[in-house]
């Protein structure tokens, strides 16, 4: 019979499920509200509520996010993908490269920034080859999920479960997973899942019109002037041969040659070294040109390209600005503000001619590349207002990506061989990165996902409340009584199905928080090793393919792909069934045979 405390815990769990499903107040606030209720009713003490913040796995997750962001900022991944994907000529060829590469990388790097890096490549390749991005974006997300499930550090879900294992006191001796405990079903599913995506994605996914193009068209479109770098191999090539027709979301609007304008630009036009190439593109795309490896450079960038640290920012000319009526050249941004104007947006108006001779108007939006003194020099200006800080650039030395990637690999090896803990290895790597100034200490906090840390800590508290109140026992015994007559395999399948459904509709973090104490109770009731049951629960929660809300990378591709819920279910359901069958039988054979 449930106690009064147990009834309160069940009400809180129902509140969490409903709030997460309806997105009532957001995941972090939902967990905080639920745990506060448990505290008010005396079910959890303040120390029990806060104990989760001391869990080692929270810090490991945050440190992995920091290191992943450091690696992303070096540009080494973009450089690799530039060379790797340019060779793909067919849909299946590109899809194969993407799925295999992403699944391998995401086993060791946070998959959210990985998907963010690759989305522009998918869009550009789709445009160039007249393939809808909707045929590629779900496979991109699913490949990241497949890879993440294969190692302890591949996804935050696995690390959260490891934190729950470390915090539990129900089963003595069961206190941690090693970094490669997840490979037994994870690696076979990378292979089988990748093959499934490669051979069935085109048939199962919708052929949507390019909604990402619509998105780009509806954002702020800049006109930016570039010139051919002195070390470039572009002179003598046609526009088509140089690959400038679809340069990462940019449209080649015109070529200025000896004060003559070539417009529209024929793909067969041969490039000359003195040409000025005028592109149209949205804010972030233009910002990428600051450090492009395309053989082009921004005409107005000049000495800023050689500075150790620069920043791309957006400003708008004020109505009483002294700059209005002056040309860009007369505005003297370099001497006045330690900045260079590299692109201009004027509410859809077409601007022609060289950028330096354009007269500024109130309301013009400018994309500036600013040096370290910009903030000091522009503090009291009435000439413009800062809109946003688009991108931060720091000159990357060749040893930096090698140190970060090599350090991460070494940390994984040391942890796998039990020589040094993963926590200590990552802490040392971040300390070295700070000492060598590979990252700005003032910027480090921006890489920390505080909401995720709160959710994990509150999840640990919820699990403790479920065990303490007896709710986990009641639900666990009920499931065993229902499933055990059909055998141990039925219990594994039951755990998988419940975990997958919860993950699909209330996120994987909530799923493992609710189910972990129940799974522990089931293992005690059955008198079996808890590891296989916990692994099955974790695979099911992390491998969330059924809905866009189950995992963050699914949400990232949901809008740009123009998808509906049924599109995820159509391809995600058979992949979920495949994952369930493979993982259940492998885990059963390894642990329970």
List, for residues 543-566, the tens digit of each pLDDT value: 999 988 778 788 778 767 778 878
Both structure tokens of 183: 């490979």
- Helix residue ranges per DSSP H, 269-421: 283-288, 328-331, 333-337, 374-377, 399-416
pLDDT at residue 214 above 60?
no
Higher pLDDT, residue 213 or 160? 160
pLDDT at residue 217 above 50?
no
**How many other CB atoms are there within 10 angstroms of residue 334's CB atom?**
15
Mean pLDDT over 402-414 rounds to 85
Averaged confidence pLDDT in the chain: 82
Q: What are phi and psi of 280, to 5 degrees?
A: -115, 135
Q: Of 68, 149, 82, give the one whose Cα is nearest residue 114.
A: 68
Contacts (Cβ under 8 Å, ≥6 apart) of 292: none
Contact 498, 527 (CB under 8 A): no
Higher pLDDT, residue 569 or 118? 569
218-393 belongs to CATH 3.30.70.1450 = yes
Q: Which pLDDT tens digit goes with each residue over 300-313?
A: 666 665 666 677 78
Cα separation, 513 vs 353, in Å, equals 60
| pLDDT bracket for residue 274 (50, 70, 90) | confident
pLDDT of residue 300: 62
Exposure letters 464-485 (e unless 16+ CB within 10 A, then b): bbbbbbbbbbbbbeebbeebee
pLDDT at residue 165 above 80?
yes
Cα separation, 551 vs 508, in Å, equals 7
- The total number of residues shown for the chain amounts to 593
pLDDT of residue 393: 64
pLDDT of residue 424: 92
pLDDT of residue 390: 67
List the single range of 39-48, 130-139, 204-213, 456-465 with lowest mean pLDDT.
204-213
């Amino acid at each position: 019979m449930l106690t009064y405390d147990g009834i309160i815990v069940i009400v809180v769990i129902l509140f969490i499920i409903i709030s997460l499903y309806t997105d009532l107040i957001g995941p972090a606030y939902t967990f905080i509200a639920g745990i506060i209720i448990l505290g008010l009713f005396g079910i959890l003490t303040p120390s029990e509520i806060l104990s989760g913040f001391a869990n080692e796995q929270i810090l490991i997750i945050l440190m992995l996010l920091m290191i992943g962001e450091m690696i992303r900022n070096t540009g080494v991944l973009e450089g690799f993908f530039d060379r790797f994907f340019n060779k793909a000529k067919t849909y299946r060829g590109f899809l194969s490269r993407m799925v295999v590469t992403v699944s391998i990388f995401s086993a060791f790097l946070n998959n959210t920034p990985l998907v963010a890096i690759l989305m522009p490549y998918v869009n550009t390749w789709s445009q160039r080859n007249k393939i809808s991005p909707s045929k590629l974006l779900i496979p991109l997300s699913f490949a990241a999920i497949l890879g993440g499930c294969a190692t302890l550090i591949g996804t935050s879900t696995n690390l959260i479960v490891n934190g729950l294992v470390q915090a539990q006191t129900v089963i003595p001796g069961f206190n941690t997973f090693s970094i490669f405990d997840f490979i037994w079903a994870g690696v076979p599913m990378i292979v089988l899942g990748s093959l499934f995506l490669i051979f069935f994605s085109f048939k199962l996914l919708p052929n949507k019109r390019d909604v990402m193009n619509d998105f780009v068209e509806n954002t702020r479109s800049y006109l930016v002037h570039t010139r051919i770098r002195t070390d470039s191999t572009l002179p003598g090539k046609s526009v088509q041969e140089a690959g400038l027709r679809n340069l990462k979301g940019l449209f080649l609007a015109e070529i200025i040659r000896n004060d003559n304008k070539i417009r529209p630009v024929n793909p067969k036009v041969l490039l000359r070294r003195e040409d000025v190439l005028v592109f149209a593109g949205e804010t972030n795309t233009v910002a990428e040109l600051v450090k492009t490896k395309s053989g082009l450079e921004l005409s107005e960038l000049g000495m800023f390209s050689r500075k150790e640290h620069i920043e791309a920012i957006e400003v708008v000319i004020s109505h009483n600005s002294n700059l209005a009526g002056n040309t860009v050249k007369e505005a003297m941004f370099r001497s006045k503000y330690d900045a260079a104007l590299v692109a201009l947006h004027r509410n859809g108006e077409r601007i022609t001619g060289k950028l330096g001779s354009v007269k500024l108007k109130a309301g013009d939006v400018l994309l500036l590349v600013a040096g370290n003194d910009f903030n000091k020099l522009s503090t009291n200006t009435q000439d413009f207002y800062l809109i946003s800080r688009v991108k931060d650039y720091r000159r990357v030395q060749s040893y930096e990506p090698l140190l970060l990637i090599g350090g991460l690999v070494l940390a994984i090896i040391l942890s796998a061989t039990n020589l040094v803990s993963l926590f200590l290895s990552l802490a040392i790597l971040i300390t070295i990165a700070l000492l060598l100034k590979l990252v700005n200490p003032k910027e480090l906090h921006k890489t920390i996902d505080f909401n995720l840390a709160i959710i994990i800590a509150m999840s640990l508290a919820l699990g403790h409340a479920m065990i303490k109140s007896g709710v986990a026992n009641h639900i666990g015994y009920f499931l065993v009584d229902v499933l055990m007559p059909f055998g141990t395999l039925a219990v594994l399948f039951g755990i998988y199905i419940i975990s997958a459904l919860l993950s699909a509709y209330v996120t994987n973090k909530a799923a493992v928080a609710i189910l972990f104490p129940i799974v522990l109770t089931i293992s005690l009731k059955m008198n079996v090793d808890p590891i296989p049951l916990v692994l099955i629960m974790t695979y099911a929660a992390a491998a969330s393919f059924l809905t866009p809300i189950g995992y963050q990378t699914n949400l990232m591709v949901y809008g740009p792909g123009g998808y509906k819920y049924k599109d995820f279910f159509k391809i995600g359901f058979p992949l979920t069934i495949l994952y369930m069958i493979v993982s259940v039988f492998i885990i059963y054979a390894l642990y329970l045979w």
